Amino acid sequence: MHNAKHTSAAQQFGMHRATHRDPKLVQWGLTLAALLTISVLIVIPLVNVFYQAFAGGLPTYWENLVRDSDTLNSILLTLAVAPLAVVANLVFGLAAAWAITRFQFPGRSLLTALIDLPFSVSPVVAGLMLMLLFGLQGYFGPWLQEHNWKIIFSTPGLILATCFVTLPFVARELIPVMEAIGPEEEIAAISLGADGWQMFWRVTLPNIKWGLLYGVILCNARAMGEFGAVYVVSGHITGRTDTMPLRVEKLFQEYNNPGSFAVASLLTLLALVTLIVKVLLERKTRLELAEAARVVHTPGEAS
């Protein structure tokens, strides 16, 4: 995912000197075109989701969400699957970023590139790969059946699929942040007698907390919204393996538009909250990185 963590000073101060050289007509025309595009492609669909969800009034909306036990189950399932996947990728992200930014080893840049791999694999293919390993006809299928363990068409499969598609999020947010901060403070902590965990909790974590939260937020949004990969491994057992996005699709197939949009509105709300937190965190990390640069590089003025 490409994030804009860069609002330049010029943008913050509002005016670009070059601005007033673009003729007014061009400015107006382009602005209008841009706003029209954003409105048609983004704003109207956004408003439409909530309009459709609430078309039958608030009571109907509430009923669509809570009275339909299958829908309720899908919400609960998503609330169980997504956090587990996020925690798994959080631990992974920390380990990967620590290894990559703090040590030199052969294959380091290859490993960095490999982390992004899941982004370029179609989610359906990701689901298929899990089927090949753990499905009934898969490589481990017979063994799993013998031990009466179920991965495909059940929650573990959903978690694995979600882990795969969201694997890079935390790591790729942390790597640049930790690279920028550098290892000096951690080395200082060790030289002052801290052990590994003390160093991690007291020095590393406080320094990266905003970047970490940023990665977690993005990871969570994708985890809750993942469709293709879980579609393949879920088996569509209504009320048991349908996550929220799958429930949206099933209700849509059943021509239950109000129900479908009700679930969709929750997911959209999640997206909006994600965006807001993202904007706030971007401001925060930008300020902290600027500060970091100041702490490290400013030679002292008179004391």
Partner 1 sequence: MSISVKNITKRFGDFTALDNVSVEVPTGSLLALLGPSGSGKTTLLRIIAGLEIADSGSVLCQDEDVTHHSARQRNVGFVFQHYALFRHMNVFENVAFGMRVRKQPKKLISERVRELLHLVRLEGLERRYPAQLSGGQRQRIALARALAIQPKVLLLDEPFGALDAKVRQELRNWLRRLHDEIHTTSVFVTHDQEEAFEVADKVVVMNQGRVEQAGAPHEVFERPANPFVMDFLGNVNVFHGRVQNGRALVGGLEVDCPEYPHQESRPATMYVRPHELEIEHSPNGAASLKARVERINSAGSIAKVFLLAVEFPVGLNVEISPERYGELGLKAGDTVYVSPRKVRVFVPEYVI
Partner 2 sequence: MSPSNRKVLPGFSLSLGYTLLYMSLLALIPLAACFTKAFSLSVDQFWAAVWTPRTVAAYQFTFTVSIVSSLASIILGFVIAWVLVRYDFPLKRIFDALIDLPFALPTAVAGLVYSGLYVETGWLGQFLVPLGIYGAYSRFAVVLVLTFLGIPFVVRTLQPVLESLEDDKEEAAYLLGASRSQTFWRVIFPTLIPALVTGFALSLARGLGEYGSVVFVSGNMPFKTEIAPVLIVARLEEFAYAEATAIAVVLLVISFAMLVLINLLERWSKRYYA
Residues binding partner 1 (CB under 8 A):
184-185, 187-195, 198, 202-203, 206-207, 291-292, 294-303
Rule CB under 8 A: say whether 82 interacts with partner 2.
no
Rule CB under 8 A: say whether 10 interacts with partner 2.
yes
Q: Which is nearer to partner 1, 175 or 189 (CB)?
A: 189
State the DSSP code for 140: S
Rule CB under 8 A: say whether 132 interacts with partner 2.
yes
Given the rule CB under 8 A, which of 60-68, 157-165, 208-216, 287-295 is the region that contacts partner 2?
157-165
Distance CA 195, CA 193 (A): 7
Pick from partner 1, partner 2, none: which does 139 bind, CB < 5 to 8 A by kind? Answer: partner 2
- 103: helix, strand or coil: coil
How many C-alpha atoms does 268 have within 13 Å on its Cβ side? 19
Q: Which is nearer to partner 2, 12 or 303 (CB)?
A: 12
Question: Could you give the string, one character per residue 255-284, with x where binding to partner 2 holds by CB under 8 A and - elsewhere?
Answer: --x--xx--x--xx-xxx-xxx-xx-----
Q: Nearest Cα to 171, choosing from 226, 111, 89?
A: 89
How many C-alpha atoms does 93 have within 13 Å on its Cβ side? 33
Q: Which is nearer to partner 2, 11 or 69 (CB)?
A: 11
Q: Which is nearer to partner 1, 25 or 302 (CB)?
A: 302
**Interactions with partner 2, residue window 56-75 (CB under 8 A):** none
Q: Nearest Cα to 64, choosing from 242, 253, 270, 257?
A: 257
* Cβ pair 151, 163 in contact under 8 A: no
Q: Nearest Cα to 168, choosing from 113, 126, 130?
A: 113
